[in-house]
Structures are given as structure tokens and as C-alpha cells.
Amino acid sequence: MKNIFGNSITVTLFGESHGPQIGAVIDGLAPGLEVDLDFIRKQLELRKPHGKISTGRVETDEPHIVSGVFEGKTTGAPLCILFENSNIKSKDYSKTKNLIRPGHADYTAMEKYHGFADYRGGGHFSGRITTPLVAVGAILIKALQKKGIYIGSHIQKCGAIEDRQFIDYESDIKKVNELIFPVLDEEIAEKMHHYMLGVAGEGDSVGGVLETVVIGMPTGVGEPWFDTVESILAHALFSVPAVKGVEFGDGFGFADMKGSEANDAFEIKDGTIVTKTNHNGGINGGITNGMPLRFRTVVKPTPSIYKKQETVNVETMENAVLQIEGRHDPAIVHRARVVVDSMTAIVLADLLAVRFGTDWL
């Protein structure tokens, strides 16, 4: 029960939105993995706010690796990566310190930590803390790619607007990984962006669904009980702030299907066993079957909105009205994309390290 994740490869997160530094320690990395700072910076760029659908708080996000790397490669010892928090406006929050923000962790943090939590900007609960996750994810994304494993996610749905499906997985993954606003169809991308701007203009925010595919995963990874691939991935994905649902393959669509529609028939193709369809998202009985992994993650609308909201003043214990100022994101689903990809990489690298040994990657 802790802020640590993984079995053979383990990630420890620390930091607060308005503290001096945030960071992560990743342990169990195979020695000799290339640490490409430019690729880390590129992945961090995908997480950064861009344009009017994001917060005005822009951090430089320059990664400082203080351990576990020697002469450009992982040593095998724990890798600690740090980021400075520079662009902080703490006074934004002081006014509303006692007004717990609806949809946020203010109240639960207060209850869990008996009033000792750092409340500024959401403290340890802030989406800011995903920055080091993206950085360590980048190292593993690169390592997995060298093994032929590629991860890609797009905004499959936002409001009533839906993107097209992944068609050619390999080229679509490459395409989407270059996009700051990860939508496969360009016209849809524009519509979605326009919709987000409109809602932002109302002082409100939107949610959305991310769809992720992974190609190249070996068969036979995962456990039948408790540590199924779905269990481990969901565990990781549900710890991304604002994620409230995860489904694999046809997911909630299975409720309307029959067994004859849901089962994926097997066939021989090029001497290998494959499935004709992939309703089960590449996982049978909790174990990878060699087909692409396919899952969807729903991101709730950003709780920080400019509209007036009813709440409670925890000092006076009276009902109150809150109008949040500060700088906020009317949409985070596009920024959450690279966090989802990073968590996915962390999970898959760990599953592979458990199965094939700590040197596998």
C-alpha cells in the first residue's frame, strides 16, 4: 500500500506541485540501456501544456538524472530523475485554502493526512507529478521499441466527437506518437480542438477517452489470478489522475454481445497461431496471446473550472461558494496520453523482466 509500483522494475514517485523539486526513482532497469535525453525531452513535450486548451503554467521540464546512469547508459542501479518546480504562483491558492475544491483531492487529502498535507496546487496529488513518470516511461518506451514493442494512444472520443479507429497499427502508432494533439483523423482533430476551445470559453472543462494499442508483445506474459495483464495495467492506469474507467478489447461492449460474437477464432498464419479478430484485446485468461493489446481509458473532465461551485469552508464548517482562479487546463485528455503510454511501458517492461529476467530488456 504505497506510492511505489512494480515487481522487478519499480517506480517510486515523490514531490508536490509547489515544492522545490519533484522526481522519481526507477529501480530494476537492465544495465546498458541507452538514456536518450532528447527522446525524454520529446516525450515531456507531449505532456506540456500547449495553446489555449491548457494551463498557462509552463515549466521548462529539464530532466536532471542524478544516479543510475554512467556514460549515457543505465548502470543497473536505481535511477533518480529530478525536475525543478520554477513557475509557481502559490499566492493563487492561499485565498481559497479552506474551500475544498469539488472533484479534487483537497478533502480526501485533508482526511487522510489529518490536515498536514501540502495543499498548495494539489500538493502530491497534482498532475504535475506525472512529469517524472513520463521521463522514466521514455527510457522504457525506447527500450521496448528496440525489442519491437510499440505503444500508441489517440483521443478516441471527446464529447460527442469520435476519432477513426487504428487501421494500420504500425504506421498509425508512429503517426500518433508525433502528434501533440493525438487524433488520427485531421478533420476530427480540428473539430475536437474547436469543441474544447468552446467549453474553455464557458469556463468549463471536458473529459475524453484514450484508446491505446501495443504491438509486438510476446505471448505467455501475465498470471492467471490477481496479476493478470489486465489487473496490472488497470492498477497502473487508475493511478493516473482523472482516470475513472479502463476496458480491454471490446470492454463494456461485451454486455451486448453473444459468445459467438465475442470469441476470437484461432487460425494459422505464416506458421503462427493468431486470432482472426481481436475482441479480447490481445489477452486471454489474463495472459498475452501475441495479438495487439487494445484498451481504452476514460479521463474525467478537469475538475478545476472557472465556474462558481458550491462547497464547504473547512475552517468555519459552513457551506460556501468557490470561484477558482489560478491557471488551469480546460482539457487534459491530450496531455494524459503520454502519461498513459508511459505507465503502459512501465507495466510491460516489468512484466517482461519478471518473465525473462532482470537483464531482458
57 forms part of the interface with a copy of itself (CB under 8 A):
no
Residues 150-189 contacting a copy of itself, CB under 8 A: 157-160
Based on CB atoms, which residue is closest to a copy of itself, 75 or 145?
75
CB of 219 to a copy of itself, least distance (A): 4
Q: Are 121 and 57 in contact (CB under 8 A)?
A: no
Query: Which range of residues in 89-97, 165-173, 175-183, 299-307 is near a copy of itself by CB under 8 A?
Result: 299-307
The answer to whether residue 117 forms part of the interface with a copy of itself (CB under 8 A) is: yes
Is residue 236 within the footprint of a copy of itself (CB under 8 A)? yes
Task: Rule CB under 8 A: choose which of 62, 66, 97, 194 binds a copy of itself.
Answer: 66
| Residues in 248-277 that interact with a copy of itself by CB under 8 A | 248-252, 254-268, 271, 273, 275-276
Which residues 6+ apart lie within 8 Å of 197 measured at CB? 52, 53, 330
Measured CA to CA in angstroms, residue 313 lies from 51, 95, 110, 114, 321 at distances of 34, 12, 12, 16, 9
| C-beta closer to a copy of itself: residue 44 or 158 | 158
Q: Which stretch binds a copy of itself (CB under 8 A): 134-142, 173-181, 183-191, 293-301?
A: 293-301
Q: How far is CA 301 from CA 133, 209, 357, in A?
A: 21, 11, 40
- DSSP 8-state symbol, 19: S
Please report how close the Cβ of residue 121 comes to a copy of itself at its closest, in angstroms.
Answer: 12
Of 16 and 59, nearer to a copy of itself (C-beta) is: 16
Q: Which of 97, 244, 315, 323 binds a copy of itself (CB under 8 A)?
A: 244
Question: What are the E-state strand segments in 128-197?
Answer: 150-158, 161-162
DSSP secondary structure letters along 321-337: EE---S---SB-HHHHH
Per CB under 8 A, does 231 bind a copy of itself?
yes
**CB distance 102 to 311 below 8 Å:** yes
d(CA 6, CA 354): 10
Q: How far is the CB of 346 from a copy of itself (least distance, A)?
A: 10
Minimum gap (Å) between residue 174 Cβ and a copy of itself: 26
| Residue 350 exposed, middle or buried by CB count within 10 Å (0-12, 13-18, 19+) | buried
Contact 14, 76 (CB under 8 A): no
Contacting residue, 37, 88, 179, 312, with a copy of itself by CB under 8 A: 312
* CA 108 to each of CA 101, 115, 119: distance values in angstroms, whole numbers, following the listed order: 11, 10, 11
Among 43, 54, 55, 74, binds a copy of itself (CB under 8 A): 74
What whole-number distance in Å separates Cα of residue 222 and Cα of residue 23?
29
The count of chain residues that interact with a copy of itself, using the rule CB under 8 A, is 154
The answer to whether residue 299 forms part of the interface with a copy of itself (CB under 8 A) is yes
Question: What is the closest distance, in whole angstroms, from the C-beta atom of residue 268 to a copy of itself in the complex?
Answer: 6
Nearer to a copy of itself, 3 or 86 (CB): 3
SS3 labels along 301-315: CCCCCCCCEEEEECC
